């Protein structure tokens, strides 16, 4: 067991505005060879899970009146959880994490990465490139031909203008010199702030830190759902809400829907909006993961939420940050890796590479959950409505510029030791056990995911 606190854990805990003296409650152990990379991915993974676990332990202490429980971070559990989307199975069946059109392509002057897992993004990619069809090798070949005849930046701009997702591969120096990259470099890892003087939150005695709390989950793959499944693990009633016209992949939900319920509501419809506002009136936490501005018309700006529901914890996640020329762009972990130079650093002279997991997503997800937990602790002490903000690019900057690899026990990693099976509505579900852990805390979710979008839009016990 390693008791020396890692620099990354200290950095993340400080970014959360937390008491540094609590760091001595953390220890580390287990094989750490599960996330091999040139960049210090394992250090990022270990630190983000550590601070999330410590924030959960701290809030447990608040609710029980006892000392802050000790936290042990197991590297094997952490690495397995960061690979959870690749390890999930139903009745032994696996699914690809990326669709055929979500990949690297050679352009006339470099490389482009696209993301087209969702049907609407695939259709916009086709439209931007002038490629007919929907699937199959012929479509892949046509997209390859269309991209090969254009520069990488031409593809990026054309696809984003059509509402799709494509990013030209950049080196870290090129990203740093760009306007967006320079702005990201000037940001902290995350921000937490008190936005008003709402009364102190009264949290009753409870064994789990989030027991009795209601979380509205307005997020999609992958960082946001990782955060909210962690809050569900810790006792929260988490209700995920999606628009019926933007269906989620059941395969993705099999991984990120652990412990949660899932429903659909059309916020543009009067009935759907009324039901949503009734849920909002009873919520304690609202987590959003859509691109900045996308939900503003529904009264979901921090200012509107604080005015309507003082005392909320509002957590907002974005890909590129809520500033700069890219702030309204859609984005995913794979695209952020390409834009920020990670793909070049992990690649070869012949082709770009990728991290061994969607580490920006998973790491940001645990930081997001930690931010919510810390906000709840501060609310108990001083009241207020709290706002937590993170961006995948800020996590990427931290990985590339601020973290260094730390020693670990690299031999003997076996993800199978951190997997379990449970019956679910979809069949026999194999999934990764949660890595967030503290003395006396939960070891697994209370319920498996269900069929996406089929739960009633009500709070448990309402």
DSSP-based three-state secondary structure for 342: helix
Of the listed ranges 68-82, 102-116, 394-408, 429-443, the least confidently predicted one is 394-408
Residue 453 has pLDDT above 70, yes or no: yes
pLDDT of residue 132: 85
pLDDT of residue 200: 82
With a pLDDT cut of 90, the percent of the chain lying above it is: 90
Residue 408 has pLDDT above 80, yes or no: no
Cα–Cα distance measured from residue 328 to residue 239, given in angstroms and rounded to the nearest whole number: 26
pLDDT of residue 135: 56
Residue 283 has pLDDT above 80, yes or no: yes
Residue 113 has pLDDT above 80, yes or no: yes
pLDDT of residue 342: 98
pLDDT of residue 203: 87
* Overall average pLDDT of the 251-278 stretch: 96
* Overall average pLDDT of the 267-273 stretch: 95
Mean pLDDT for all residues in the chain: 95
pLDDT of residue 4: 60
pLDDT of residue 204: 87
pLDDT of residue 136: 61
- As beta bridge partners, residue 191 has 389
pLDDT of residue 247: 86
Residue 3 has pLDDT above 60, yes or no: no
Of the listed ranges 38-47, 316-325, 453-462, the least confidently predicted one is 453-462
pLDDT tens across 181-203, in order?
999 999 999 999 999 999 988 88
pLDDT of residue 134: 62
Confidence of residue 42 (pLDDT cuts 50, 70, 90): very high
Task: Assess contact for 81 and 362: CB atoms under 8 A.
Answer: yes
Q: How far apart are the first and last CA of the chain?
A: 45
pLDDT of residue 411: 74
Residue 462 has pLDDT above 90, yes or no: no
Confidence of residue 461 (pLDDT cuts 50, 70, 90): confident
pLDDT tens across 10-21, in order?
999 999 999 999
* Residue 427 burial (CB count, 10 A): 13
Output the six-digit token pair for 386. 């709290």
Task: Assess contact for 376 and 234: CB atoms under 8 A.
Answer: no
With a pLDDT cut of 70, the percent of the chain lying above it is: 97
pTM higher than 0.85 = yes
Residue 151 has pLDDT above 80, yes or no: yes
Output the six-digit token pair for 388. 């937590």
Task: Assess contact for 405 and 42: CB atoms under 8 A.
Answer: yes
């Amino acid at each position: 067991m390693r008791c020396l606190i890692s620099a990354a854990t200290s950095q993340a805990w400080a970014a959360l505005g937390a008491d540094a003296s609590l760091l001595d409650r953390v220890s580390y152990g287990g094989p750490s060879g599960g996330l091999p990379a040139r960049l210090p991915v394992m250090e990022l993974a270990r630190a983000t899970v550590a601070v999330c676990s410590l924030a959960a332990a701290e809030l447990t202490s608040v609710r029980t009146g006892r000392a802050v429980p000790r936290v042990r971070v197991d590297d094997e559990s952490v690495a397995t959880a960061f690979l959870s989307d690749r390890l999930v199975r139903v009745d032994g069946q696996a699914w690809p994490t990326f669709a055929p059109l979500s990949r690297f392509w050679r352009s006339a002057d470099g490389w482009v990465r696209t993301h087209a897992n969702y049907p609407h993004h695939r259709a916009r990619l086709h439209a931007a490139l002038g490629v007919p069809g929907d699937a199959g090798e012929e479509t892949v070949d046509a997209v390859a031909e269309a991209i090969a005849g254009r520069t990488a930046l031409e593809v990026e701009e054309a696809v984003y203008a059509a509402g799709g997702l494509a990013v030209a591969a950049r080196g870290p120096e090129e990203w740093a010199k760009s306007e967006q990259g320079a702005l990201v470099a000037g940001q902290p890892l995350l921000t937490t702030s008190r936005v008003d003087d709402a009364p102190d939150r009264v949290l009753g005695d409870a064994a789990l830190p989030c027991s009795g709390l209601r979380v509205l989950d307005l997020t999609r793959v992958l960082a946001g759902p990782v955060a909210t499944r962690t809050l569900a693990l810790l006792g929260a009633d988490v209700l995920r809400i999606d628009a019926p016209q933007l269906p989620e992949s059941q395969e993705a939900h099999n991984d990120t829907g652990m412990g949660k319920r899932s429903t659909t509501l059309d916020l543009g419809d009067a009935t759907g909006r009324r039901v949503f506002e009734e849920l909002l009136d009873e919520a304690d936490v609202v987590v959003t993961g859509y691109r900045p501005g996308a939900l503003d018309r529904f009264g979901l700006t921090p200012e509107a939420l604080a005015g309507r529901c003082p005392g909320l914890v509002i957590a907002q996640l974005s890909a590129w940050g809520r500033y700069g020329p890219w702030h309204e762009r859609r984005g995913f972990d794979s695209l952020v890796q390409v834009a920020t130079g990670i793909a070049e650093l992990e690649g070869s002279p012949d082709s770009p590479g990728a991290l061994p997991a969607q580490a920006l997503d998973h790491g940001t997800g645990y930081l997001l959950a930690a931010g919510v937990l810390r906000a709840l602790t501060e609310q108990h002490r001083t009241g207020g409505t709290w706002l937590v903000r993170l961006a995948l690019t800020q996590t990427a900057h931290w990985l590339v510029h601020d973290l260094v690899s730390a020693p670990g026990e690299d031999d003997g990693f076996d993800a199978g030791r951190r997997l379990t099976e449970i019956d679910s509505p979809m069949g026999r579900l194999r999934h990764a056990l949660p890595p967030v852990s503290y003395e006396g805390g939960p070891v697994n979710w209370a319920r498996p995911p269900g069929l996406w979008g089929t739960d009633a839009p009500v709070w448990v016990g309402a």
